[in-house]
Structure 1
Amino acid sequence: MQADTLDAALFIDAKPNAITVGATGYKNDSVLQSVTLGSSRNLALNKSTTTSEGPLQSGSFAVDGSKSTRWESRHGVDPQWISVDLGEVTTIKRVVLNWENAAAKAYRAELSADGSTWKSAYATTSGREGIANLLINPTEARYVKVTGTERTTQYGYSLFELEVY
Structure 2
Amino acid sequence: EVPDDANGVPDEPTDVQKRDGYTKAWDCTTGHRGVALGATLFHYGLEHDFGGVWFNLIPGGLKRLSYYSVKKAFTGSNAGDNLPPVISNMTVTPAGSAPAGGEFTVRADIRDPENDPLTNKIFLSGNYATGDKALVPAQFRSTGNGTFAVTAPEKLGVWKVYIQSEDGKGNAGIETESVKVVAPPVNGTNVALGKPTTASSSQASYGDCPCPPERATDGRTDTRWASDWSDPQWIAVDLGARTPLRTLQLVWDPAYAKSYEVQVSDDGNAWRTVHTTTTGNGDIDTIALTETARHVRLQLTARGTGWGYSLHEFGIYS
TM-score interval, smaller chain: 0.7 to 0.9
Q: Do structure 1's residue 45 and structure 2's residue 190 form an aligned pair? A: no
| Matched ranges for 1:124-163 at <5 A | 124-136=277-289, 138-163=290-315
Which residue of 1 is the match for residue 212 of structure 2?
Answer: 58
Q: Do structure 1's residue 122 and structure 2's residue 264 form an aligned pair? A: no
Higher RCO by CA contacts (8 Å cutoff, separation 6 or greater):
1
Paired positions, count: 130
3-state SS of paired residue (2:239): strand
1:44-97 alpha-carbon deviations (Å, 9 max, x no partner): 0010011003x102000000001000010001x100010000111011121111
Sequence identity (%): 38
| Matched ranges for 1:59-98 at <5 A | 59-75=213-229, 77-98=230-251
1:39 Cα deviation from its structure 2 partner: 6.5
3-state SS of paired residue (1:62): helix
- TM-score using structure 2 length: 0.39
Which residue of 2 is the match for residue 107 of structure 1?
Answer: 260
- TM-score using structure 1 length: 0.74
Quote the RMSD (CA, aligned, Å).
Answer: 1.9
Report which of the two structures shows the higher radius of gyration computed on alpha carbons. 2
| CA distance in structure 1 between the partners assigned to 2:186 and 2:287 by the alignment | 18
5+ long unaligned stretches in structure 2: 1-97, 104-184, 204-210
| Runs of 4+ residues over 6 Å off in structure 1 | none
Whether contact under 8 Å (1:47, 1:84) holds in the other structure is: yes
3-state SS of paired residue (2:214): helix
Q: Which has the higher helix share?
A: 2
| CA distance in structure 2 between the partners assigned to 1:59 and 1:46 by the alignment | 11
5+ long unaligned stretches in structure 1: 1-12, 19-36
Q: Which has the higher strand share?
A: 1
Q: 1:39 to 1:97 in 2, by over 3 A?
A: closer
